[in-house]
Amino acid sequence: MFKSPLATMHVSALISLVVLFPVAFGQLNTLAKAKGLMYFGSATDNGELSDTTYVSILSNTSQFGQITPGNTQKWVYTEPTQNTFSWTQGDVITSFAEGNGQLLRCHNLVWYNELPSWITSGTWTNATLIAALKNHIANEVTHYKGQCYAWDVVNEAFNDDGTYRVDVFYTTIGPEYIPIAFETAALYDSSVKLYYNDYNIEYAGAKATAAQNLVTSLKARGIKIDGVGLQAHFIVGSTPSLSSQLSNLKAFTALGVEVAYTELDVRFSSLPPTTAGLTQQGTDYANTVSACVQTTNCVGVTVWDFTDKYSWVPSTFSGQGDACLWYTDFTLHPAYYSVVAALGGSATATSSTVVSTATTLVTSTTTTTSAAATTTASGTVAKWGQCGGTGWTGGTVCESGTTCTYSNAWYSQCL
């Protein structure tokens, strides 16, 4: 993506002021980095990038400093027939992240799901499936070498009771397929971070212990493993407590690996949500983000898409949803502000708001929400800014072309 020198100057100046006034701007990635994390990120998928409103939010690196391809780096997309590779769909996401200057978590190399039929229905021996596994990893890691911060090398290899998940790789190769996958990935890109990624390992139990034992085993054999991804697909009111998540993260980092929350969302098991439920969702999100902030070597938090409009939850769990930080109409859940607070922001703050023009940066003193710099030079509330809600004392008149739109009792937004 081409950036003019003037645009670069504006961005650099803006970044400097954001560092000085993180509370006033308050976007998720800016605050996360100010707290010592590497990023606050989001997963996305190819079809969503045709949605201009969605793209404008996802491209804002003050909100999201990292991107995960939700699906199109998986085996069924990248090697649909044996030894015939297709990178087109995966490259859409990687190019998007690169163009925005966002970190990329690559996802994933080996998973029991989203496999092409030639794998699941093939006739394999130990040797032939190992060869196919190595060939796939070698080609994909080589193609994306230098683009990824990390690879989810193996995804969801354990059952909830800590036993190995039975799939074509385990049945044919046995548990050794996991060390083979990590060794092969390291062989073709020695600098990328290599992760094991799973759900229900966010709290102590048999599955978390199995993942910890895997880390210990790989390290004992001298096999490169750099991190563990905790997916964090939670249910409102059933999310592990802050203390539970803290002790669990530290059990992993004590093994010499970094950790990250890689697929965070907190879904309602029944809809519509109640007022109490929305408050609880905010607490659940905040506890998870706080656990990462408070853990040395927890590098970041990724939400599994930022808006309910593209959430995987409703199609997977009938009658459930509203799991993300943005509603389907791109207004904000109250939980967004809970995350802002967990990252060191506050409800309101008075400081300098930066306004970019064609030739200069103009500063004006104003009262803003911590979620964004919400006013324009004329004093009206900018698009996406808050314009109402319980206790709101800021501006209520939206800039031309936008209307103050009710989202919930706490929040109205200029859209």
Q: Give the residue numbers marked as catalytic.
A: 156, 263
Whether 391 and 407 have beta carbons less than 8 Å apart is answered as no
Which amino acid does the sequence have at 221?
Answer: R
* Mutual angle of helices 275-293 and 242-253, in 10-degree steps: 30
Q: Quick one: three-class SS letters along 96-141?
A: HHHHHCCEEEEEEEEECCCCCHHHHCCCCCHHHHHHHHHHHHHHHH
Provide the b/e sequence for 138-154 (b: ≥16 CB within 10 Å): ebbbebbeebbbbbbbb
How far from each other are the two terminal CA atoms of the chain, in whole angstroms?
27
Q: 395: which 2 tokens?
A: 């501006």
Which residues are CB-neighbours of 373 under 8 A, at least 6 positions away? 24, 25, 353, 354, 382
Name 197's bridge partners.
155, 229
Q: Is 177 exposed, middle or buried (0-12, 13-18, 19+ CB in 10 A)?
A: buried
Token pair 């998540």: residue? 245
* DSSP for residue 319: T
Q: What is the CB-side half-sphere exposure of residue 340 using CA atoms within 13 A?
A: 24
Residue of 338, 334, 324, 347 lying closest to 275 (CA atoms): 334
Q: What is the CB-side half-sphere exposure of residue 94 using CA atoms within 13 A?
A: 20
Q: Is 311 exposed, middle or buried (0-12, 13-18, 19+ CB in 10 A)?
A: buried
Residue of 112, 100, 88, 8 lying closest to 63 (CA atoms): 100
Name 303's bridge partners.
42, 264
